[in-house]
Amino acid sequence: MTSKLVVNTIEADTGISSVSFASSISLSSTSVFHLGDAGINIGADTNINRAGNGVLGFNINSSEKARITSAGNVGIGTDNPSANYRVTIKSSTSPHSALLLDTSESNYNTNLYFAKQATNKWIIGNKASDDAFRFVSGSDERFRIGSSGQFGIGGANYGTAGQVLTSQGSGAAVQWATPTAPLKTQFYKTSNDAQSTFQSLTRIFFTTLDYTAVQSGSTIIYEATISGEFDSERGNSFYMLYYSTDNWSSATNLPLNECINGNDNSNGTFNDKIFFYFTNPTGTTATKYALYYRQSGGGTTHFNQQGLTSQPSGSSNHSYFKITEYAA
């Protein structure tokens, strides 16, 4: 059947016949359909139209939902794309897809906005002035990655060489800080084979016990490593750490969680470490320190009889006690 252009002589108009034809309407490669600005309707609620010079609009239910401007800007939910950006979703010949946010202007940022109830909450994107990638909360920049891989806190605050990020607690952002170097470290080792029997309190003697702090009010960190051997009954044996300052007759029990459990293996040896600290109460005055141990479970414990391989160099056959002082 030959396709026809039907002219309605009754209403004196011209159009494509509503009669079904066996062939489609074809145009040559140089021919086009010309439509008015009103465009074309698709069903009763959708329209594609010419919204302005060189502007293509997409309407649903008589309201514009998207447009492409003559400059190539894409607006979704707005009829006035505000920046010279282009949004592209593309696939290459390989199985990859990408969402591209781009601008032709050298001083424009490219961002993704995350909002709630029409209020911007977070912005992530490129900072055009120095090509940094930023994370912005509301209007405040929280974090960025510089173009050379630097980490910035609160903007272009990359810290200085040797600084580290430190927590400020659950209610504040991290900050750059310079690690605190020890003011002084002193090492002691035992000078005798101290023995403790069931429920006895025994002081471990060290080669020296006087420590002079560098700074008043400084923080003293204690590291004690105790090695030894249970002579006889070893089941459920433990020993508890005590310490004293200045007064040898006074021994203060550390909190219960500072209790050290001894090893009850076949040879009865142990090698345990403990840490504790407090603010030095006497400043630069020489202070005496001592360590005491109480054992339970039966038998005799030699606290420095065994020299174990994990001990520091030069401390073989000794337990050791190290004090490190940090600025307050």
Residues 118 and 222 both lie in one domain: no
Residues 136 and 211 both lie in one domain: no
**The pLDDT of residue 90:** 56
Across 207-227, average pLDDT: 80
CA 32 to chain centre: 58
- Three-state SS across 284-307? CCCEEEEEEEEEECCCCEECCCCC
Across 96-116, average pLDDT: 81
Residues 222 and 306 both lie in one domain: yes
For residue 89, being part of any structural domain is answered with no
For residue 83, being part of any structural domain is answered with no
Across 235-258, average pLDDT: 56
**The pLDDT of residue 72:** 77
Structural domain that includes position 220: 184-326
Distance CA(288)–CA(211), nearest Å, equals 6
- Report residue 137 as tokens: 């909360």
**The pLDDT of residue 256:** 43
Residues 143 and 228 both lie in one domain: no
Residues 299 and 188 both lie in one domain: yes
Residues 257 and 200 both lie in one domain: yes
Residues 131 and 37 both lie in one domain: no
Distance CA(119)–CA(262), nearest Å, equals 61
**Which residues lie below 8 Å from residue 141, measured CB to CB, with a gap of 6+?**
134, 135, 154, 155
**The pLDDT of residue 41:** 92
pTM, entire model = 0.45
- Give me the number of domains the chain comprises: 3
Distance CA(152)–CA(134), nearest Å, equals 9
Q: Which of 158, 177, 196 corresponds to the end of one domain?
A: 177
Residues 137 and 192 both lie in one domain: no
Q: Which among 323, 113, 122, 85 has a CA at the least distance from the CA of 224? A: 323
Q: Are 325 and 218 in contact (CB under 8 A)?
A: yes
Distance CA(272)–CA(282), nearest Å, equals 29
Q: Which of 50-59, 68-77, 268-277, 300-309 has the highest mean pLDDT?
A: 50-59
Q: Is the pLDDT of residue 272 over 90?
A: no
Q: Is the pLDDT of residue 324 over 80?
A: yes
- Report residue 115 as tokens: 């909002």
**Which residues lie below 8 Å from residue 293, measured CB to CB, with a gap of 6+?**
194, 196, 201, 202, 204, 226, 239, 240, 241, 242, 301, 303
The letter for the amino acid at 229 is E
First to last CA, the chain: 100
For residue 164, being part of any structural domain is answered with yes
Residues 166 and 195 both lie in one domain: no
Across 214-220, average pLDDT: 83
Residues 200 and 167 both lie in one domain: no
For residue 156, being part of any structural domain is answered with yes
Q: Which of 154, 177, 200 corresponds to the end of one domain?
A: 177
Q: Is the pLDDT of residue 239 over 60?
A: yes
Q: Is the pLDDT of residue 304 over 80?
A: no
Across 93-121, average pLDDT: 80
- What confidence category does residue 293 fall into, taking pLDDT thresholds of 50, 70 and 90? confident
Q: Give 3-27 pLDDT, tens digit per residue.
A: 455 555 555 554 554 555 556 667 7
**The pLDDT of residue 308:** 44
Q: Is the pLDDT of residue 88 over 80?
A: no
**The pLDDT of residue 56:** 92
Distance CA(69)–CA(80), nearest Å, equals 8
Q: Are 126 and 107 in contact (CB under 8 A)?
A: no
For residue 92, being part of any structural domain is answered with no
CATH of the domain at 235: 2.60.120.1340
Q: Give 152-167 pLDDT, tens digit per residue.
A: 998 888 988 888 888 8
Is 315 or 77 the better-scoring residue by pLDDT? 77
Q: Following DSSP, what letter does each residue of 160-228 receive, concatenated?
A: -TT-EEE---TTS--EEEPPPPPSEEEEEEB-S--EE-BT-EEEEPBS--EE--SSTT-EEEEEEEEEE
Q: Which of 177, 205, 236 corresponds to the end of one domain?
A: 177
Q: Give 36-83 pLDDT, tens digit per residue.
A: 899 899 999 999 999 999 999 999 998 888 888 887 777 777 777 765
Please provide the average confidence, as pLDDT, over all residues in the chain.
75
**The pLDDT of residue 309:** 45
**The pLDDT of residue 237:** 59
3-state secondary structure of 256: helix
Across 101-105, average pLDDT: 78
For residue 84, being part of any structural domain is answered with no
For residue 94, being part of any structural domain is answered with no
Is 140 or 89 the better-scoring residue by pLDDT? 140
310: left (phi over 0), alpha (psi -120 to 50) or beta: alpha
For residue 86, being part of any structural domain is answered with no
**The pLDDT of residue 211:** 82
Residues 194 and 302 both lie in one domain: yes
Residues 127 and 202 both lie in one domain: no
